[in-house]
Structure 1
Amino acid sequence: MTTDELEQLLAAQPVALLHRLARGRVHRHFRLGKRRLVELLLRHSTENRAGLESDLQTLIQERAGRRALSEARRAEHPRIAKPGRQPDRPPAQSGKGRLRPPELESSEPACSLGAWLEGLGVPEPKPFVPDAWQEEALARLAETDVIVSVPTGSGKTYVAIEAARRAMEDNRTVIYTSPLKALSNTKFTEFSRLFGADKVGILTGDRRDNAQAPLLIMTTEILRNLLYDAAGGEIDVRLDTLGLVIMDESQYLADPERGVVWEETIIFCPSQARLLLLSASIGNPQDIADWLTSIRPTPCHLVKHAKRSVPLRAGYLHPNGKLVPLFRTVSIPYGHPGALHPEAKRLFVHYEDETLPPRSR
């Protein structure tokens, strides 16, 4: 897609869709008009064109799906208003004083259990080919700090592994942090298998193995404490050769209790080390990238896209062991949570009849 084609496609979209696309890309986008939004999104596309186009197509498809469903509902349940006459039945009430519109179902038949389960399982082995955003993150990491904000299952761990391998080949120390000791232990086992037990160490509150290894796994609190000690003249690990710090689950920056640990770790991180922040759920990654750029000697580059590599499906498992799709469609109908599968609704009613007392039904 050329720049002119992208500009025309953006200009043809409603401003609400452009604001959704601008989240994490354009600072204070909610204050901007349509023309300015298009201009800034085009400017941002020079950094991550593929991610912007992918997110734009996803939003357009979602909007088209919502419109098609809305038109189908209107066709199935036409409303004919007669002058001077009120509707025979008011909308159902939900809670005190709140009106809930009646639930309308699509005219399309609900998906079957077989269709819902189709495609699940272990895929056929294929040669691994990195995605464009993975190559972009690794290329940028050679010059800048990087934030990777992509959906779960997209391949963030590959970026961490490849970045760690390249850093160790350059005789630089790598530190990988996670918020949980259990996750640190899991990564220690995984990385030991990939790089060899002699090259991987672990430091947690209750475990200390191979502390002088070129790749160290630890919780973020442990790294923060090590950086505190280094500031006081006590160097417990090879911080002088530190070349890369990988911070997994970096959405903990927003945690009201532990977020300060991530902030202090970033602030005290040695200037010669590159920072790689990984997360699937940062709500404002561009703001975090701007903050890192303002406090670090190296600018920070954001790699972001919203298209899931592994689509989500929702099902309902009844206590009697019966499994059914939760929604009428195979995929999750975002924006239409009321489009429940008829069999799931029947099982809900059955469960309530069995468990709730008569007065609560």
Structure 2
Amino acid sequence: MTRDELERALANLPFRLLRRLGRSIAGPPALRMGKRRLMHTIMAGAEANIARVEATIRTHQAEQQALAAVPASGGGASSEHKPGKPADLRALLEGIGVPEPRPFVPDDWQMEAVEALERGDVIVSVPTGSGKTYVAVEATRRAMHEDRTVVYTSPLKALSNTKYTEFCKIFGPEFVGIITGDRRDNPTAPILIMTTEILRNLLYDAAGGEIDVRLDTLGLVIIDESQFLGDSERGVVWEETIIFCPSQARLLLLSASIGNPHELAAWLTSIRPTPCHLVRHQHRSVPLRAGYLHPNGKLTPLFRTVTMPPSPSQAVLHPEAKRLFTMFEEDTLYTRRSG
């Protein structure tokens, strides 16, 4: 490779590769150089490091040729992933976006959960994105129709704020209040959004004879992210909330990751005046896809398959993800040693 060819090839390299080459030649000072100065540094040291420089250039050129050879996706079967072949980025991103609007029809498990609340407490254990919110909203509508107070709890103030905004759009701001450590808006509303710790404290006060926030008319308590029952530090808050919950109120526990839902349902049945019904639904309506985003901005499938492997034993990393992992490790180790 002549000097002119080398200079043209370096000009076409991404900045991350130039910086990597410059750092291998000039050390940490290269991290503070711009593109022009990096090229000058690499050219000055190219003779002593020609093998490394040419290898980097050839690898980049091969990658660009491989990308150019991938046919553009025309939709349909042409972009489908073929078994045995690593998934490409187009297959990973295909179909992602806002779906076309269509009439909503609740699933059988959703109606089962709502109707089971007429008879007792309910645990809903379904994958993320399956439609737990519909159950909460429909149960809230029915409780309001009976003029009962509804409390919706979440583990974080940020989640409570999000749910407050969502419920205000559905039911109207005059019917929704929020109580967290930072705010107390419309606390006499029939629907109250709060953190689980706030509800536990209110139930403490009620047990001591101090009735507040319409707990005497409480008809439904929705506990979101109820897997926190198993948390070593905060789990006691969820447990006490359930134990102190008024007997006239129905409990609706929502989670995507309860490890022992049958045991939890049996415990609730043993301490509450009504039986607890477990609703489990394992089909994921929105399949999970895993990608790896390198700090240089490159995105690639994490696994050879488009969707998540069914078990860890079947997980095989995508070749490009492996390469980016290795590159990241090398860059990180070099930075630590240089620092």
TM-score between the two structures when normalised by the length of structure 1: 0.68
CA change 1:349–1:237 in 2 (3 A) is closer
- Structure 2 residue 300 is matched with structure 1 residue 324: yes
Matches within 5 A, 1:271-282: 271-282=247-258
- Structure 2 residue 302 is matched with structure 1 residue 335: no
Among residues 142, 162, 179, which one is paired with 1:203 in the alignment? Answer: 179
- Structure 2 residue 323 is matched with structure 1 residue 346: yes
- How far apart are 1:143 and its partner, in Å? 0.9
- How far apart are 1:307 and its partner, in Å? 1.7
Tell me the amino acid that sits aligned with residue 128 of structure 1: F
SS of the counterpart of 1:281?
Answer: coil
Matches within 5 A, 1:170-185: 170-185=146-161
- Structure 2 residue 226 is matched with structure 1 residue 250: yes
- How far apart are 1:351 and its partner, in Å? 2.8
Tell me the amino acid that sits aligned with residue 341 of structure 1: H
Tell me the amino acid that sits aligned with residue 213 of structure 1: A
Query: What percent identity do the matched residue pairs reach?
Result: 75
- How far apart are 1:317 and its partner, in Å? 1.4
Count of aligned pairs: 255
Q: Name the counterpart of 1:145.
A: 121
Report Cα offsets for 1:154-200 as digits up to 9, x if no partner: 11111101100110011111111111111111111111111111111
Segments of structure 1 that go 5 or more residues without pairing to the other structure are 1-105
TM-score between the two structures when normalised by the length of structure 2: 0.72
Q: What CA distance in whole angstroms lies between the structure 1 residues aligned with 2:221 and 2:296?
A: 48
- How far apart are 1:318 and its partner, in Å? 1.8
Matches within 5 A, 1:1-361: 108-333=84-309, 334-336=311-313, 339-357=316-334
CA change 1:239–1:323 in 2 (3 A) is same
SS of the counterpart of 2:313?
Answer: coil
- How far apart are 1:133 and its partner, in Å? 0.6
CA change 1:116–1:233 in 2 (3 A) is same
SS of the counterpart of 2:184?
Answer: strand
Q: What CA distance in whole angstroms lies between the structure 2 residues aligned with 1:148 and 1:133?
A: 9
Tell me the amino acid that sits aligned with residue 194 of structure 1: I
- How far apart are 1:290 and its partner, in Å? 0.2
- How far apart are 1:349 and its partner, in Å? 2.5
Tell me the amino acid that sits aligned with residue 174 of structure 1: V
- How far apart are 1:207 and its partner, in Å? 1.2
SS of the counterpart of 2:170?
Answer: helix
Q: Name the counterpart of 1:85.
A: none
Q: What CA distance in whole angstroms lies between the structure 2 residues aligned with 1:235 and 1:338?
A: 54
Segments of structure 2 that go 5 or more residues without pairing to the other structure are 1-81
SS of the counterpart of 1:356?
Answer: helix
Q: What CA distance in whole angstroms lies between the structure 1 residues aligned with 2:136 and 2:270?
A: 24
CA change 1:300–1:330 in 2 (3 A) is same
**Structure 1 stretches (4+) deviating beyond 4 angstroms?**
none
- How far apart are 1:256 and its partner, in Å? 1.2
